[in-house]
Every structure is written in structure tokens, then in C-alpha cells.
Structure 1
Amino acid sequence: MHRAGLLQAAAALLWVPQAALLALAVARLARGEGMAGVLVPAALLGLAGLLRAALDAMGGRMAFRAARSALAGLRHDALRALAARSPLDAGRPASGLAAAALAEQAEAVLPYLLRYRPARLRAVLVPLVLLLAVVTQSWMAALILLFAAPLIPLSMALVGLRAKEASEAQMLEVGGMNALLLDRLRGLPTIRAFDAVEATAGRLRAAAEALRGRTMAVLRIAFLSSAALELFSALGVAMVAVYVGFHLLGMLPFGTWSGWLGLGPALFVLLLAPAFFDPLRDLAAAWHDRAAGEAALEALARLAAAPTLALPGAGVDPDPSTAATPPLALAVSALVFRHGAAARPVLDGFAMQVAAGERVALFGPSGCGKSTLLALLAGLALPESGSIALGEVALTAESAAVLRGRIAWVGQQPHVFAASLRDNVRLGRAGLDAAAPIARLLPAHDPARRVGEGGLGLSGGETLRLALARAIAAPTVGVILADEPTAHLDRATAADATEALLAAAAGRTLVVATHDPVLAARMDRIVRMPA
């Protein structure tokens, strides 16, 4: 990025010899030398213009590649940190907020790196060189430029403090709006069931209005900084033009080293005066990019921060083996776990033994820790104390990634993607035979049949069967963990889902968390969780 900025600064500095050649050509024409006197300056001027365009294009391409690479790295770090967070981490950012930061807000980093940083480098180097070129001809013109120049960055700095605050507030508003919209879309059936459509629409309307207000505040500040720049740069150029004009008329016969500016040197100074403010103008144009970019960088940094509760074995490659896994025994001893800084642990000294191939129901009231226990068994978090073992292997941070490859999870509301049944079972896993589990659990469906997002086109029971097909598609699965698989189903569908669950668990260990006494009764054993 620094090299790209230097190339663009070098391209801007080529205006100095271009201005000198142009002033020389005009001076020769004024002296009556004709076209013969301007051919060489014109040719050199054209070559300098080509070189300037080439350097600027090269610097722009380098800056774009560097900015894209830096943005990709920032996104990668944020995604890696999100993937390293345990699902039990209460401090995990909302999915809508994370999606907004990674997709929409992160794009604000690109113009910040692509425009603001090179503009800042040019604003430091180019005006200084141009000022030195002007001072060789007229110290008075240089003094005018030196007086006008600090007013621009000073005004931008004052405005920029407020611009950064406004951009941060807008970014938070965008993230909150996205999170709210995603949450309401997910809960649309519930909203309709409770006749809360109007109330929800009002809430969304208020959030959209708040976002509009934040956006307009950012735009007002951007226009203010642009107005301040144009005012001071116009005054600076006008003052130089007034001085040079009156000097040529003989009314201000001072401010030069030789006592008098000829037409060529005067035109050279006039050509450099607007170019002196161009880098500052570019910096001001990118000033809003700075505010938005720094706010986006802070949002990405928050996502990339170390999690308060890490996923054990995050970043460790799972076992590539595809050998069939026999049913695994589970051993839980003196398990203690609490959510965050909660005073009371969810599980306090819990112990359980599950034989290989056994089917066990975790039964108990809401809040007793059934889902938490399943998450700990799945290696999604480590207990505060106590131990968990799958087969002969203790579940630790080092073994968690490998053991998760031996476990299948069936949640309360399995997500179905807008794809074929085959792709929904494979989930991108290479080498899996999706047809066999589909034929076993969804015999009436063609594996190539497409379904809509969220399971559109499938009943609740069929969605559960699809989730079970995912679970048994991998031969490495030796344990199936199911969290309330019949919670949202009617009696007939729940009975059908129970049969599908038992069929899928054949030859595997099954642990089910449930409130359903009918499902619990079909298990080999019931473990009652302490209230």
C-alpha cells in the first residue's frame, strides 16, 4: 500500500515539470518565436503526461490489490474468531450484526485503504514539493500558500472528530437494523400467530427512520467538510492570482528573488497554485472514507477479539479418516458448568454412564441443563470441572475436534438450505453416500428433488428425517445427540419422527434431551436431570 501511494505521489509531482514546460512554451509564443519554439516543450510535455498517466494507473492497480488483500485478511481473522466461539458463549455477537459487519460494513474499509491512505501520503509529500518549486520563483506566493494550507487540515480535523462519531453510530444502527430484521423474519410465523404484524412493522419503521437520521447526519458532516475545503482552497488560489496579476501590472513590485516575475515564471506559479491544493482536496474527498473505514475496522476488530468462551479444538483439522465408527460409550463424571459469570452452575457434580449402543433419554423440566449437557457432550465447550469421555478418549481441547467427527447433532429446528435433498444431506462433505440415508428415511423422495430455504416443501416430520439423514450419512458417526426432536410436532408426526429417530440410531449410541414422555418411554433408559 505504501509503494502504491509513492507511485501516485510521483505521478502528481510530474505536474511540476509539465507546468514548467507549459509556461516556457507560452513565454516563447509571447516573444514571437512561433511554432518552432514550442515543439520541443510540447513533445516533452506529452511524454511527461504519458509517464504521469502510467505511474498513476500502476499505483492505482497496486493500491487496489493491496486493499483487497488487506480486507480479505481482516474478514478471515473475524470469521476465524467467530468460528472459534463456542455456541454456549453468551457474548457471541448477534448473527445479523456479524453479517452486517462482515458483508456491508467491511466494504467501507476498501475506500479507506484505497483512497484515504494514498491521499494522506500525497497530502504530506506533494504540497511540500510544490511549495519549494513556487518559492524558487516568488517567496510571496509561497507565503500565501503556506498561510492558506493549514486552514484546510485544521477544519477537516475538527469536522473529522464529529464525522467519526457519526459513522460509528451509523454502523451500529445498520447492524442493529439487520439483526432486528433477521430476527423478525425468523419469527414471522410466531408474529402472525399472535397478530403482532402491525406492531412489528411499526418497530421496523422506527428502526429504519433512526437509520435514515444517522445516515443524513453523516452526509451533513461530509458536505460541511467539502464546503470548508473548497472555501479555503478557492481563497488561496485567488490570493495567489491577485498577487501575480498586480505584480505583473507593477502595482506589487515585491515578493520575488530577482525583483520581477516574467510571464513564464508568473504562469508557472499560477499553474502550481491549484495543484498545491489538489492533494488536500483529494484528502478531504476521502475524509468521510476515513471516518467510515475506521468505524468498520473497529467493528471487525471487535468480531476478531478473543472469545470469552472458546470452542475446544477450534482451528484444528478433524480426523480425515472415513472408517466406520462403532457405537461409543459415554462417561460423565462430576461435571460442573456455568454460563458466563452466573453465580449458580447449570450442572453441579453431574455424573452419567451410557453404554455403547444404548439409547438414553435426558428427562427433566426446562432450565435443568439438558441442552447444555448435550452441548458439552458434543465438545462445544469444556466443563468448569469434571470429565467427559467418549469411548476410551477423554474430551479435551486437544481431542475435541477429532471427537466431534464421531458425533452427530440433531437440533430442535434443523436448517434446510435452498438446494436438493442430496446437497442438504452432504453439506459439502466429499465422498458421502447421500442416496442411502435418503432412501432409508425419506423413501418417497427423489434425492435430486429441490426444496426451499428453511425447508419449504417439507413437513416438520420430513425436515427431521432429513436432519437424521445428515447425521447417519457419515460412517464415522458413533454417537447421535438429539435436542427435543419432537418438540414442535403434533402427536402423529411426533410418533413418526420417533420411529425415524430409532431407525437412524440403529448401531449407534443415542442420547435424547426431551420433554416428551412418549419419546422417553421408547428409550432403553431414562436419566432424570436434577431440577
Structure 2
Amino acid sequence: MSALGALLWIPQASLIAAAVYQVALGNGASAIVLHALGFVALGVLRSTLDAWATRRLFRDARVAVSALRERAAAALASRSPLDVSRPASGQAASVIGEQAEALVPWLTRYSPARWRVMLVPPVIAVAVGVHTWAAALILIAAAPLIPVFMALIGWRAKAASEAQLGELGRMNGLLLDRLRGLTTLRALGAVPSTAQRVRNHAESLRVGTMQVLRIAFLSSAVLELFAALGIALTAVYVGFHLLGELTFGAWGDTLTLSEGLFILLLAPAFFEPLRDLSAAWHDRAAGEAARDAITQLIGGDAGLVGGGHTGPSALCNTPADTYARGRTPAISLRNVTVNQYGDAPPLHFADIDIHAGQHVALWGSSGSGKTLLLSLMAGLVKAGSGTVTIGGAMLRDDTAGALRQCMAWMGQKPHVFAASVSSNVSLGQPDVSPEQVQHALQAVGLMDAVQHGVSRSVGEGGLGLSGGEVIRLALARAAVRPGADILLIDEPTAHLDNDTAQRVIAALQQMAIGRTLVVATHDPRLARHMDRVVNVDAEVLP
């Protein structure tokens, strides 16, 4: 529609030229009334088409960008937390939040400008060529020079935009990471060196941004140069032709004043779509760079078994009085091989059977594969071969979402958000009531330790809580999870003193009553309280 609106300038230019010709002949205002009315009517129609096209393009662009953001967020959510190739949080947030906005100008400005370039100049060249082939030839000869030089500049512009957006993402990731560890940096006296590194990244970003702007200004200068030359040559030809100095180029007789004015009015319009394309050329470079960055987020290997939720499982929400009869899910691993992330060799695990309601400790030294085995049970890593069975159901992409509703997971480094204790326990689950939160805190022995009740605010990363309190807060999350019949806990007592570890062990025993518990540990204090200890020593495959 925007291209159609631009083409309406051709009849408008014809009406202006005809009106001026009538005035030159000495006719009164009555002779140009129809021309004026026609010009106004076409102007209103052109403005309406432009406004409608702009509004629709913007709406479609916002829908497309929102869809890409949803896909990128879903792709990140389906990535395993053990995947070392996952982008940093700051970098991913920069791509989804900031860089994705570069797609809007690309879709609303560059794409329509490209269509106008493909349609409007050829039609204007034909309209001019009807009166004079010489003027049409001048326009046609000047037009190809613009896209050729724009393409040459565009290659460099895209590379510069990609480098700038990459540097922006790295800087955001660095800044977020350093802010999270600000307390540690202060304790180690590393704040000045960190500030210098951030300053270096900011300087690199400034240099990259200025480089992109220089290329944008260069592309505009190239366009204006060739467009001005084309218009000037056309005006020179028409002027000398009307003066009788140039007698060639017209079909038969010489051009009339009306035809000359018509050609002069169309010459700037011939280059206008190219001007729009030049103005949107930087938008194209930035948009394509942003598109590639989002595509990388979307196209990464999920690594997580069954990224989507497939609905409730029949194993979940088992009544408490049936736990003793063995209706909690059992876990079985058969001939499982895992391809580790990075360049590490694959590992093979011995067969394991964990009975329903049993409390099992995965025992082994650091690096023996305990965390990886626990992650297999949760579907956080995919088995290269073999099977993992939960409650008689094989863990696959189509069942993982439902089976996870029966699980509660706690990693080695649980994250605490800057929010209230209650919010950190419920994690925004609408079916978790304040009473359930308090009950979970009491179950893990944290209620007495939390001053000012569950509404107490804690800082990002657990600021204001001790290491043991952070662990028990994470255990409360698992305790409050509805239908969590399987507890998968990774190193809950690591780096804790004896008294704190005993409190964590007591809290873990209390919340695991009637549930299947699998805990990865190399702490003999915790292993003694388990029903069974499984020695983990994964075999490294060649």
C-alpha cells in the first residue's frame, strides 16, 4: 500500500504541470479549479494509504518481534542448566530485550522501502519515457550506481552492527555478573580492576557505535551525491531542450512546458524510494544482526528432555496415607550412557534401581558423576543410550513434562531472588497458599530463624541469609511443591559446619517422609541417615 501511495504522485505531478501550463497561457483561476480539486483528492487518498500501511506494518512488526521473543525465551527455558554453552543471563536479556527492538525499524522501514524501490522507479521511468527517452535514460543510468555502492557499504555495515551488538551483549553479561558478585569483589579488593574492565568494555562499545554511525553517514552521502547528479542532469536536459539548445530526446516534436514540468516533478520522486532505502540501510544491518542473534538463541541444542509441559501425571498428588503401600514412584536406570557438554568424553553408568519411598545416597568423590546421574533422573541431560524409568513410565520428550510434576530438584547452588521469603519459597506458583509456605518453612526448621516472618525481604543471591539458611530455603521450595513425590537433592551439606549440616539433614529427613529421596553427597554424616548408599563411579568411554 505504501508503494501504491507513492505512485499516486504521478497523477498529482501531471495535474500540477497542467495547472501551471494553464496559468502560463493566461487563463484564470477557473481553469485550474478541477486540477486543484483532483490534486487535493489524490493527496487525501495518498495520506490515507500511507497512514494505513504504516499502522499495519507497525502492528505486524510488533507481533513478529513478540513471537520471536517468546520462541527465544522458550528455547532458553528448554536448555539444561548444566549446559556450559548457554549464553550468560545478561547477554540473553540483551538479545531478547534490547537487540530484538532493532527488528521493528527493519520490518517497518527497510522492507517497505525495498518494495517501493522495486516498483516506483520503473513506473516513473516509463512515465518519463513516454515523453522523452533522453530524460528516462539519464534516470535509468544514475539509478544502478546507488544500489551498487549501497551494497558495498552494506556488507561492512552489517559486520559493524554484528560486532556492536555482540559487544553490547558481552558488556551486559559482564555487568550483571559483577553486580551479583559485588560483595565478593569488595572483600577481595578487586573493585578497581573490575571497574577498569567495565570501562574497557564501554570504550570498545563506544568505538563500535561510532564506527556504525560513520558507515550510516557514508551511505547517506553516497545516495545524496548520485541522486543530486541524476536530478541535476535531468533538469539541465529539460531546460536546454525547452530553450531549443538540445533538439534530441523527444518523440517527434519538442517538449511542451507542461511536459517539461511533469518530468522535473517526477525526477526527485524517482530517487525518493532510494533515499528511503538509504535511510533504512542501517536499520537493515542492525535488524539482520539482531535476527541472527535471536536465531542463535532459538537454534541452540535444548539438552533438556521434553522442554514443554505435557500435562498432569497420574503419578502426582498421591495421598499421603498411600505412601507406605509403595505407591510413590520408583526410579530405574538401565545401560545409560551420557554425552557430556563440551569436549569431555561420554560416561557410562551401572544399572540402578531405587524403590518407591526409598531414601538413597549417591556416594562418590568429586567428579565421579553423582550430579550427572541425578540430572539424568530429572531429565536435565539427555541419555545418549539406555533408558531412565520413573514410576514405570520411560523418561522421554513426550513424558518428561508430566513426570517432572512429580519431582522437586535442588542444585548445589540454589539461587535466592531479591524478594520476600514467601516469594522465594512459592516462586510465584498460584496454587501455593501462604499457609503452605509457613508449613514448608516449619518442616525445614527455618521458621524460627526467619525474623519478621515470611514477609521478610532478602537480597539477591541470599544476602541477609547464612549458607545453611539458603539451603533450607531451597528445601522449603521442594517441600511446598505440590505433588512432588520424588526429591532430587544435590550436595545439600557441602561447605557447611557440623551444627548447620545436622539441621539441614534433620530438615531433609522431615520433608522426605513418605517420598522417594535421592541425594548426591560425599558427606558421611548425611549418608548414615539414608536407607541405602549407591557408590557412583561412572566409566569413561573412549
CA contact (8 A) 2:313 2:405 kept: no
Q: Tell me, yes or no, if structure 1 residue 305 matches structure 2 residue 289.
A: no
Q: Distance in 1 between matches of 2:22 and 2:464?
A: 82
- Alignment partners' CA distance in 2, 1:129 and 1:299: 38
In 1, distance between residues paired with 2:187 and 2:497?
17
Tell me if the contact between 2:310 and 2:399 (Cα under 8 Å) persists in the aligned partners: no
Q: Which residue identity does 1:513 align to in structure 2? A: A
Between the aligned partners of 2:349 and 2:535, the Cα distance in structure 1 is 14
Counterparts of 1:98 and 1:472, CA distance in 2: 31
8 Å Cα contact 1:123/1:279 also seen in 2: yes
For residues 231 and 127 of structure 1, what CA distance do their matches in structure 2 show? 18
Match of 1:133 in 2: 127
Q: Which moved more, 1:202-211 or 1:476-485?
A: 202-211
Contact preservation (8 Å) 1:335, 1:383: yes
Per-residue Cα deviation, 1:130-165 (whole angstroms, up to 9, x for no partner): 111112222222121111111111110111111122
1:499 to 503, 506, 516: 506
CA distance in structure 1 between the partners assigned to 2:225 and 2:17 by the alignment: 27
8 Å Cα contact 1:382-1:397 kept in structure 2: no
Matches of 1:316 and 1:436, distance apart in 2: 24
Q: Is contact 1:410-1:483 (8 Å) kept?
A: yes
Q: Do structure 1's residue 330 and structure 2's residue 305 form an aligned pair?
A: no
Moved more, 151-160 or 333-342: 333-342
Q: Which amino acid is 2:336 matched to?
A: L
Letter in 2 for 1:226: S
SS at match of 2:351: strand
Give the gaps of 5 or more residues in structure 1: 1-6
Match of 1:425 in 2: 425
Aligned match of 2:525: 518
Q: Read off the aligned partner of 1:512 and give its amino acid letter.
A: V
**Counterpart AA for 2:308:** G
Q: Is the 8 A contact 2:102 2:283 kept in 1?
A: yes
Match of 2:361 in 1: 361
Partner of 2:76: 82
* Residue deviations 1:436-468 (CA, integer Å, cap 9, x gap): 242424434534444443334444333323322
Deviations 1:15-58 (A, max 9, x none): 11111111122222222212212221111111111100000011
For residues 430-445 of structure 1, what are the structure 2 equivalents within 5 Å?
430-439=430-439, 440=442, 441=444, 442-444=446-448
1:484 and 2:491 are equivalent in the alignment:
yes
Contact 2:180 2:460 in 1 (8 A): no
Q: Pairwise mapping of residues 15-164 of structure 1 onto structure 2 (< 5 A)? A: 15-164=9-158
Equivalent position amino acid for 1:400 in 2? A
SS at match of 1:429: coil
* TM-score with structure 1 setting the length: 0.91
- Residue 434 of structure 1 contacts residue 473 of structure 1 at CA under 8 Å; is this kept in 2? no
Percent of aligned positions with the same letter in both sequences? 53
Matches within 5 A, 1:229-308: 229-305=223-299, 307=301
Q: Does 1:222 align with 2:229?
A: no
> In structure 1, the residue corresponding to 2:312 is in which secondary structure?
coil
- 2:399 matched to which residue of 1? 399
Deviations 1:89-141 (A, max 9, x none): 44433333322222222221221111111100000100111111112222222
Any gaps of 5 or more consecutive residues in structure 2?
Answer: none
- Structure 1 residue 279: deviation in Å? 0.1
Structure 1 window deviating more from structure 2 (108-117 vs 441-450): it is 441-450
Q: 1:197 to 1:501 in 2, by over 3 A?
A: same
For residues 297 and 229 of structure 2, what CA distance do their matches in structure 1 show?
45
Q: Which amino acid aligns with 1:378?
A: A
2:187 aligns to what? 193
For 1:332, what is the secondary structure of its paired residue?
Answer: strand
Tell me the equivalent position of 1:170.
Answer: 164
Moved more, 198-207 or 17-26: 198-207
Q: CA deviation at 1:216?
A: 1.6
When residues 213 and 491 of structure 1 are mapped into structure 2, their CA distance, relative to the original with a 3 A threshold, is farther
Is the contact between residue 498 and residue 519 of structure 1 (CA under 8 Å) also seen in structure 2? yes
**Residue 336 of structure 1: SS of its match in structure 2?**
strand
**Contact 1:9/1:121 (CA < 8 Å) preserved in 2?**
yes
Distance 1:526 1:339 in 2: 24
Deviates more, 1:459-468 or 1:155-164: 459-468
Which shifted more, 512-521 or 50-59? 512-521
Query: In structure 1, how many angstroms separate the alpha carbons of the residues matched to 2:48 and 2:278?
Result: 25
Which moved further from structure 2: 194-203 or 488-497? 488-497
Displacement of 1:427:
2.5
Q: Is the 8 A contact 2:332 2:353 kept in 1?
A: yes
